[in-house]
Amino acid sequence: MQDVWIHHTVLLHEAVQALALQPDGHYVDATFGRGGHSRRVLEQLSPRGRLTAFDKDPQAVAAAEALAASDGRFSIRHEGFCHLEAVGPSSVDGVLMDLGVSSPQIDDPERGFSFRHDGPLDMRMDTTRGQSVAQWLETADVLTLAEVIRDYGEERFAQQIAKAIDRRRQERGPFRTTRELAEVVAGAVKTREPGKDPATRTFQAFRIFINAELEELQQALAASLRVLKPNGRLVVISFHSLEDRIVKQFMAGHSRTVVDRRVPFAEPAPMALRGVHRVKPSEAEIQANPRSRSAVMRVAERTEVPA
């Protein structure tokens, strides 16, 4: 039954507090998920406040539509947060991005995100469009497989795994289930950190690649500068080093004046953000929800400079 797939919202109190909410403000939950952050934001908004959410997952959108039907301050857009600019330029007092996969997505075998549950090898955030991992694996060559596993999974056995996948395809045909893939990866990875499944990095790599997660994050971060009002807050929670590196570099890069050395007499471009702080989950939260242990939240504030 679906109602046993419980989602524990990571850094719930800390993220909403970091938005520095104004009761009459307009906020964006760029990744609605199961609505933990959205509901907490709505609790603190006045009748004039507004919250706009984005999500690609049809199940998340269905949950959000139920919330929108009962609260006129809230609206949901069934699209990725790379479309953030749809809310309008300089119109938002805060943007929250909670990246990664929700517990219901991981725990539902039909979604194909987890190597712990056998199910269709899908991994799409939006199941209404695009290729599944199974479909992509039918045609991806060994070089592409190795690059994806290495670049998006930071997997040192990428070449061995790619060759093992190719051998399995030639011998037994296309992959159809998560268990089939996990078993091939386990056979190719000879050593792994204690307590870590050999398939962890490969599944992460394929999920990130098939959903273009890093590219969408870069687009959404750039769009946040255009939609945030002066002094608006950007709050981003990431769950692995690839995401966090992008967020860190983006915030750092926009938190200093930029001199165009090709035009030495031009005025330096002023900084667009002020870094506020970085937060990790408490030991108590990690004990209650082990999936939170890798989370990092970074917070920045839009400067007075117009977008």
DSSP 28-45: EES--TTSHHHHHHHHH-
In this structure, what CATH number is given to the domain that contains residue 198?
1.10.150.170
Same domain, 150 and 281: no
Residue 202, C-beta contacts closer than 8 angstroms, at least 6 positions apart: 149, 153, 155, 161, 181, 185
Q: Which range marks the domain in which residue 203 is found? A: 127-210
Same domain, 225 and 198: no
Residue-level pLDDT at 4: 45
Domain boundary among 193, 210, 227: 210
In this structure, what CATH number is given to the domain that contains residue 256?
3.40.50.150
Residue-level pLDDT at 8: 76
Residue 226, C-beta contacts closer than 8 angstroms, at least 6 positions apart: 85, 89, 90, 307
Q: Could you tell me the CA-to-CA distances from 232 to 47, 53, 98 in Å, in that order?
A: 20, 17, 17
Same domain, 136 and 96: no
- What pLDDT, in 10s, does the model give residues 253-281? 998 765 556 666 556 557 799 988 999 99
Cα separation, 242 vs 249, in Å, equals: 11
Q: Classify residue 119: in a domain, yes or no.
A: no
Answer yes or no: are the C-beta atoms of 2 and 108 closer than 8 Å: yes
Residue-level pLDDT at 2: 43
Q: Classify residue 135: in a domain, yes or no.
A: yes
Q: Classify residue 109: in a domain, yes or no.
A: no
What is the token pair recorded at 51? 């919250």
Answer yes or no: are the C-beta atoms of 7 and 33 closer than 8 Å: yes
Q: Which residue has the tokens 């098939």?
A: 210
Answer yes or no: are the C-beta atoms of 228 and 234 closer than 8 Å: yes
- What pLDDT, in 10s, does the model give residues 148-192? 999 999 999 999 999 999 999 999 999 999 999 999 999 999 777
Q: Which residue has the tokens 């795994």?
A: 161
Q: Classify residue 112: in a domain, yes or no.
A: no
Q: Which residue ranges in the chain fall short of pLDDT 70?
A: 1-7, 257-269, 305-307
Q: Helix H segments across 141-231?
A: 142-153, 158-172, 178-188, 200-210, 213-227
Same domain, 88 and 237: yes
Q: What is the DSSP letter of 290?
A: G
Q: Could you tell me the CA-to-CA distances from 219 to 115, 142, 225 in Å, in that order?
A: 29, 29, 11
Cα separation, 75 vs 79, in Å, equals: 12
Residue-level pLDDT at 66: 96
Residue-level pLDDT at 192: 74
